Amino acid sequence: MVAAVLRAPGPIGPALLALESLPRPVARAGEVVVEVEVCGLCRTDLHVVAGELEQRRSPLVPGHQIVGTVVECGPGVERAALGQRVGIAWLHRTCGTCRFCARGDENLCTAPEFTGWTVDGGFAQLVRAPWDFVYPLPDGLEPLRAAPLLCAGIIGYRCLGATGLDRRGWKGARLGLYGFGAAGHIAIQIARSRGAEVFVCTRDRERHQALARELGAAWVGDATEPPPQALDAAISFAPAGELVPVALRALDAGGTLVLGGIHMSAIPSLDYALLYRERRLCSVTNNTRADGRAFLEEAARVGVATSVQSYPLAEVNRALQELASDRVRGAAVIDCRRGSGE
């Protein structure tokens, strides 16, 4: 099979990943092999290929927002799975036995595996995954539009849950979103469907801000500008630590700031006044399978629509460069059905 392979992390450039011919993966017990249709590209992929996340495997096939069809079942997987369209996400598998897994917090597992980081991912024609960790998808869901749901959507959904607005009530709540790429443009649709007003703070004055307005943002401004009203909660999808004090300053008393990235630049020192009056600062780590199932169900119910830019597999490096320089409107998706060189 053909795959885009990372041999060694480095600066994002035109030749960082190389198309190579690799052996076809074989399904082991409890696993399936999936023929990849498309694979979304997100900032975590940038952190992996640039070496901002520790190198855990070499060579590596990145990519973890995969949509495809099951073409092989390993022992223990019913053959009825053959031909099913499925999604594969960041969480590849967990140990199932540590104290976090035992209490239902598998996102905090002490010995997890991650798609496209510790195991080969979806910038390829085929990928192997544990059947218990894939998500069946409806046949009518268009693959290009579905791919961003599998990481940007799921992690955004977990961030929404961490804001505390489930308890306080969504109707009329003021939610801020810092950064407005793949995750932000999905999260705003869920939040607005629940009745929240959404204030979008992003440095991009063209692509991202225009999309935020199209999706019904109550206000759109630069990430360093204070929103016109104090926020009940905010989520930062931007990997920029310098925005943390900015976002805390925008919170009302009792508000929560959720950090939704797996990697972030250094956070400046904070004045205690920014946390006083019971403001909260928390991070979100990975996701559980329950998050994925609940999100996909709600996304289908409210009709979440993704904005995507598609690139053939052979142009994966161009896609990485354009994502790194914020030239992608919405989400970038690699189409593994074209441009493989075969």
Q: Could you report the per-residue pLDDT of 142-178, keeping only the tens digit for each?
A: 999 999 999 999 999 999 999 999 999 999 999 999 9
For residue 205, the model assigns a pLDDT of 66
Interval 47-100: pLDDT, tens: 999 999 999 999 999 999 999 999 999 999 998 899 999 999 999 999 999 999
Residue 137 has pLDDT above 50, yes or no: yes
Q: Which fold has domain 154-283?
A: Rossmann fold (3.40.50)
Q: Alpha helices, DSSP H only, in the chain?
A: 43-50, 99-102, 143-146, 152-162, 165-168, 182-193, 207-214, 243-250, 289-302, 316-324
Torsion of CA 186, 221, 44, 18, to 10 degrees: 100
Strands 197-201 and 85-88: unpaired
Q: For the chain, what are the domain ranges?
A: 2-140+307-335, 154-283
Give the whole-angstrom CA distance, residue 127 versus residue 33. 6
Question: What does the block give as tokens for 160?
Answer: 């929404």
Q: Is the pLDDT of residue 262 over 70?
A: yes
Q: Environment class of residue 230 by beta-carbon count within 10 Å: exposed (0-12), middle (13-18) or buried (19+)?
A: middle
pLDDT for res 241: 96
Distance CA 141, CA 158 (A): 22
The CATH number that domain 2-140+307-335 falls under is 3.90.180.10
pLDDT value at position 107? 97
Is residue 318 over pLDDT 70?
yes
80: β partners: none
Tokens of 136: 């069946």
* Among the listed residues 58, 56, 59, the one whose alpha carbon sits nearest the alpha carbon of residue 92: 56
Question: In this structure, what token pair is assigned to residue 30?
Answer: 């409890």
List of residues 6+ apart from 245 with CB closer than 8 A: 267, 268, 270, 271, 274
| Torsion angle defined by CA atoms of residues 267, 41, 12 and 237, in that order, rounded to the nearest 10 degrees | -10
Cis (ω within 30 of 0) for the bond into 11? Answer: no
Query: What is the average pLDDT across 205-210?
Result: 81
pLDDT confidence band for 342 (50 / 70 / 90): very low
Cβ proximity of 183 and 211 under 8 Å: no
**pLDDT exceeds 80 at position 125:** yes
Residue 48: its pLDDT value, please? 96
Measure the CA–CA gap between 78 and 56, rounded to whole angstroms: 32
